[in-house]
Structure 1
């Protein structure tokens, strides 16, 4: 049950509000009653976890949100009163994050005071006391709560330089002591002072070899609730990657998964989240570590060399530009960023010898924050110089000065396949396989780059592409998202744009909104 509380603190919410009523005879509105339910909303890849919660708790209903690849677990007011709240009280549990504490306080006020109508709610949200780090550490259920919270907000991964990490984040200074307690419980050390990002999120990252050993010890301990579902698969694949790394040769690991389980983790992929497997050598290394010499017996073909979204949060190692051999592969997030920007203002340059390609990103006008965000994402993953690009000015049309920001990635041989997809006779075109790469994140990056509001709808500039390229894009948008779009001429010969009408904007927002950075959300808001 403590693990359940951690999941709700991270990816759940208690929804409380008025439930409108009307008199069936007079058809007139009457006093609203109160709607209350607990909701956990996750990606569809975590359906196993939600099914597990339903089975263990013996209540709750699941619903699929296919348009956004999510699944929702709902506990009704009756479920809360008869099962969830009694269990919380029986095991002396509590929610720990500030938002969930406030929501639960309102819920218990309504139930304990038998409030029926919303207008009769007299609850005033008093400022909750901020718990100390020691308070959390001394909670008997904190370790199991942390397992659940990690399944909601944590990740296991490998940085571009090959170092491993365990990361977890939470929004708001009022929850900062929770992160301090997590650091002490997992790694037995004080958290380094950290500043929030633009969305007020605080994050801790455990990266030293000792930290990694302690992280493995914690999440593999029989004393704690095991990870379940997607996060378990991510953790197991993380262990495989650690085992294959000479850097972590001294780490003491739990018993490794079976070869068949490992193959399922590495080589099965859903159709909408494609990722090329790290490389053939990586797989051979794993087989050698397991002392298995059976590669010749495996009937592997190129279609197997893809990874599941298990490593969405694990940027694959990218070696320095100074190395002669530059390898991939690239995580789905990185591919989405690259392809989204190539649909806009990015260009590829393959060097004269053909042994490497770099990506050039450029942004003009008032949206330099967007490109700075993009640079930060790529720099963190090791794809470009970490130095912040300089903003320069240049003389534009009619003598107007314009701000310009520009940077490029490292030159990598693992970008060559992207160049071959996007360029014919050195001219950028839309790949015929674009729908395979047009994820919601790709779509969001494309709109942030080249979209603008128009009469309540959205226009996406496609000046770099031909009419036939635009047809490919509209077909991909319909195939992937069932989004109907229109190709419009701009008045300039051979220049086109794609238009999404006003009626389709709410649906568009449901697809891409969560990927938008704050300064660009105005493009899709009403």
Structure 2
């Protein structure tokens, strides 16, 4: 991105939120029923590219610690003061998935009010019906598209949940999935003008396209100078995909 340092930092913040919503969790746990522990975690498959991406996020934003465990990269922050920096990023831009917004509302309430374990247990027993956590409703797909951080958020989310595939028969496809959040996949469908329906199974929502014109729209988006671009393993996957797709067009 050919922009100022301030704009680059902002883009990394937005990308980070998409990555967090795709492969992360916002946790309030307890230690032996005595005290509460607050953690924000992102877990990714270990590759050199994913490690470089995580290290770059840490460098740019000054957040999260990195650990490598059993074939995974764990980005984690559990320091009460440093968590404030991540909370400031979330409050500035906003989360988009409903279940993550509910997670964060509970996290923030517990953190800001310094609640005791007994209060925590009481709220958990009520299954978030107390304090209106369950009244946080879905954004519509059109509302999602109006958020200024949607493009960079989508790229971070793609790092977590997207796939650029070249099948053994030479067919190219793009797919993206999410356990909860059909409205997000509908917004992605609208962003790329994908004609296919958002499908659902008992486990997740799923969107996939093979259409050449649509795949070109997708490539235009991920290669645009107006967005941060893919940063980790998906960047390598995307570059291979794009080169192969362009070669296929030339062969035709």
| Structures share fold, TM-score greater than 0.5 | yes
Candidates 169, 184, 190, aligned match of 1:184: 190
Q: The residue matched to 2:238 in structure 1 has which SS?
A: helix
Which entry has the higher C-alpha Rg, 1 or 2? 1
The CA distance in 2 between the partners of 1:196 and 1:230, in whole Å, is: 26
Gapped regions of structure 1 (runs ≥ 5): 21-30, 252-526
1:38–1:80 CA contact under 8 A, matched in 2: no
Candidates 21, 24, 39, aligned match of 1:37: 39
Residue 118 of structure 2 corresponds to which residue in structure 1?
119
Q: 1:113 to 1:79 in 2, by over 3 A?
A: closer
Q: CA RMSD in A?
A: 2.0
1:155–1:167 CA contact under 8 A, matched in 2: yes
Q: CA deviation at 1:80?
A: 5.0
Q: CA deviation at 1:195?
A: 3.3
Residue 57 of structure 1 corresponds to which residue in structure 2?
61
2:98–2:139 CA contact under 8 A, matched in 1: no
Q: The residue matched to 2:178 in structure 1 has which SS?
A: strand
Q: Deviations over 1:353-400 (max 9, x none)?
A: xxxxxxxxxxxxxxxxxxxxxxxxxxxxxxxxxxxxxxxxxxxxxxxx
Residue 201 of structure 2 corresponds to which residue in structure 1?
197
Q: Deviations over 1:422-448 (max 9, x none)?
A: xxxxxxxxxxxxxxxxxxxxxxxxxxx
1:210 lines up with 2:213 in the alignment: yes
Q: The residue matched to 2:184 in structure 1 has which SS?
A: helix
1:155–1:168 CA contact under 8 A, matched in 2: yes
The CA distance in 1 between the partners of 2:198 and 2:246, in whole Å, is: 30
Q: Deviations over 1:183-221 (max 9, x none)?
A: 111x235x533432342x111112211101101100000
The CA distance in 2 between the partners of 1:128 and 1:241, in whole Å, is: 43
Greater relative contact order (Cα 8 A, min sep 6): structure 1 or 2?
2
The CA distance in 1 between the partners of 2:141 and 2:247, in whole Å, is: 36
1:59–1:79 CA contact under 8 A, matched in 2: no
Residue 145 of structure 2 corresponds to which residue in structure 1?
137
Q: CA deviation at 1:82?
A: 2.8
Q: 1:5 to 1:75 in 2, by over 3 A?
A: same
Aligned pairs for 1:191-340 within 5 A: 192-199=196-203, 201-245=204-248, 248-249=249-250
Q: CA deviation at 1:70?
A: 0.9
- Give TM-score, length-normalised by structure 1: 0.42
Q: The residue matched to 2:174 in structure 1 has which SS?
A: strand
Residue 72 of structure 2 corresponds to which residue in structure 1?
70
The CA distance in 2 between the partners of 1:84 and 1:169, in whole Å, is: 25
Aligned pairs for 1:456-495 within 5 A: none
- Aligned pairs, number: 229
Q: CA deviation at 1:15?
A: 1.8
Residue 86 of structure 1 corresponds to which residue in structure 2?
88
Aligned pairs for 1:102-113 within 5 A: 102-113=102-113
Residue 298 of structure 1 corresponds to which residue in structure 2?
none
Q: CA deviation at 1:77?
A: 4.0
Gapped regions of structure 2 (runs ≥ 5): 1-12
Q: CA deviation at 1:250?
A: 9.2
The CA distance in 1 between the partners of 2:46 and 2:75, in whole Å, is: 11
1:17 lines up with 2:18 in the alignment: no
Q: The residue matched to 2:177 in structure 1 has which SS?
A: strand
Residue 5 of structure 2 corresponds to which residue in structure 1?
none
Q: The residue matched to 1:131 in structure 2 has which SS?
A: coil
1:37–1:80 CA contact under 8 A, matched in 2: no
1:136–1:181 CA contact under 8 A, matched in 2: yes
The CA distance in 1 between the partners of 2:134 and 2:102, in whole Å, is: 9
The CA distance in 2 between the partners of 1:195 and 1:87, in whole Å, is: 32
The CA distance in 1 between the partners of 2:34 and 2:64, in whole Å, is: 25
